[in-house]
Every structure is written in C-alpha cells, then in structure tokens.
Structure 1
Amino acid sequence: MVEAVRRAGYPVVLVEEGGLIKVRVGPFADPGPAAAALREQGLEVLEVR
C-alpha cells in the first residue's frame, strides 16, 4: 500500500496506534482529489479532518 501511494506521488507516514499500523497521506488543503485518485487505484480511503 505504501508503495502504491508513493508511486501516485503523495507523501506517506506510517503511525502505530493500538497495535495497528496506519498509513497516513497528506496533509492536503483539499483531500478530495487525492482521495479520488487513490480510490481509482483500488485503495480504501478514510478521510480524517
């Protein structure tokens, strides 16, 4: 997943919380276009504001 996001040209940060490793992308002033591009690649996107 990290490589797919990086290939799309977005910055990636991995964060461990509660035993999970979360892939965070951004920050973005408007996350809509990035979220749409990642969904088109088949990735699940959860927008956190």
Structure 2
Amino acid sequence: ERQGREIDELKGRITKFESDNQELKQMITKLKAIAIKYRANAAAATATAAA
C-alpha cells in the first residue's frame, strides 16, 4: 500500500514536471520571437543610421 502511494506521488510529480516543461517550451518560443523582432529592428535602425 505504501509503495502504491509513493508510485502515485511520483506519477503526480512527473505530470507536473511535464506540464511545467510544456509551459517553459512555450515561453522559449515567445522569447525567440521577441529576439528575432528585436534583432530585425536593430538591423533596420543600423541600416537607417548608416544611410
């Protein structure tokens, strides 16, 4: 019975880690998009300043 509880607890932890991992992946995707926009804007500003 104790083993069963421990297994259930571990399954719960794994589920939470998987959920957290998914959220982090989504955040990384958003941050990458922001970085790409920032880089594009910086490049455009540099090109404008050089002109």
- The answer, yes or no, to whether TM exceeds 0.5 is no
Scaled to the shorter chain, the TM-score interval is under 0.3
TM-score when scaled to structure 1?
A: 0.27
Structure showing the higher helix proportion among its residues: 2
Which of the pair has more CA radius of gyration? Answer: 2
Structure showing the higher strand proportion among its residues: 1
TM-score when scaled to structure 2?
A: 0.26
